[in-house]
Copies of this chain bind each other. A is one copy, B any other.
Amino acid sequence: MPPQHNKSGDPARSLALLWRTQEPASRRRGKPELSVDRIVVAATEIADAEGLAALSMRRVAEALGVGTMSLYTYVPGKGELIDLMVDAAYADLDSGDRSGGWRERLRRIANANRDLYIRHPWMLQTITTRLLGPNLIAKYDHELSAIDGLGLSEVEMDSTVNLVNGYVESTTRQTLGAEQVARESGMDDEQWWRTYNPLLAALIDDSQYPVASRVGSAVGAAHQAVYDPDHEFSFGLERVLDGVQVLVDTRSAERSADPAAPAAGSPETSGSTARPAT
């Protein structure tokens, strides 16, 4: 069980599955019993509730009241099932609201993605390279649209979307990882800290790590205070958006200095890692 990599076999089969080509064919008389969608939904419920580690073909089959091997009629394997789960999950992102300036739009996108990851923490353990499902492409299109027409080159637009998404991912992964550890250890941060602080104090020579000690205790103190836990996320996001702002302002200044120049491709910047992959 490779921890997070998906897919194994024929990409053409995967694509057909993602786009639901040749779906129902000729259902049997009685209730449809099984289907790709029912399997994906059941699997997602398990992963949402107990994590990707608890997701097994046996568990999914059991939840559907069906033999394990029956799943393989509809899905080539576990990897492809996870791919399907990911694309299906992205359908939950509502992409309606396009109002406001680009900064507000990006902020809204970041928050929507964060909420989605919180709803489906297992998504942060998957690799989405070459996962070209309908919902993922729609998401990519929606996100790019938020910064279209600002004078950025296409490659810069891709980079910017990746930058924001990357920030959301890493931050949320951190948050959820901490929650998971707290849940599994049965101790929240505060309890854990109080319990093992003496031991740590004996182990760690504060004078050897002066800055870490100072910052560590300040951060610890801040955690004691009552505060909205989303503030940290928003704070960092504004820093990222400030960085984007600098880029947008630069390109904007270039355009007004040379109004004939098209918006496309400033040559000294380079492309992203994968093509439309998020």
B-binding residues in A (CB < 8 A): 1-5, 7, 11-12, 15, 19, 21, 51-53, 125, 127-130, 132, 137-138, 140-141, 144-145, 148, 153-155, 157-160, 162-163, 165-167, 169-171, 174-175, 177-178, 180-181, 184-185, 189, 192-193, 196, 199-200, 203-204, 209-212, 214-216, 218-220, 222-223, 227-229, 231-232, 235-236, 238-247, 264-265, 268-277
Q: Check A130–B215 contact: CB distance below 8 A.
A: no
Give 9 pairs: A residue, B residue, CB < 8 Å, sorted on A: A11-B192, A11-B196, A12-B196, A21-B203, A127-B177, A153-B218, A159-B232, A231-B269, A246-B246
Shortest CB–CB separation between residue A159 and chain B, in angstroms?
6
Contacts of A184 in B (CB 8 A): 5
Shortest CB–CB separation between residue A247 and chain B, in angstroms?
6
Shortest CB–CB separation between residue A158 and chain B, in angstroms?
5
Q: For chain A, what secondary structure do more than half of its interface residues adopt (helix, strand, loop), or is it mixed?
A: helix
Q: Check A141–B210 contact: CB distance below 8 A.
A: yes
Contacts of A240 in B (CB 8 A): 163, 239-240, 243
Known: A2-B51, A241-B243, A247-B239. A218 touches B265 (CB 8 A): yes
- What is the CA–CA distance of A7 and B219 in the complex, to the nearest angstrom? 24
Contacts of A51 in B (CB 8 A): 2
Q: Check B276–A212 contact: CB distance below 8 A.
A: yes
Contacts of A270 in B (CB 8 A): 222, 227-229, 231-232, 235
Shortest CB–CB separation between residue A257 and chain B, in angstroms?
20
- What is the CA–CA distance of A111 and B247 in the complex, to the nearest angstrom? 22
Contacts of A203 in B (CB 8 A): 15, 19, 21
Q: Check A215–B158 contact: CB distance below 8 A.
A: yes
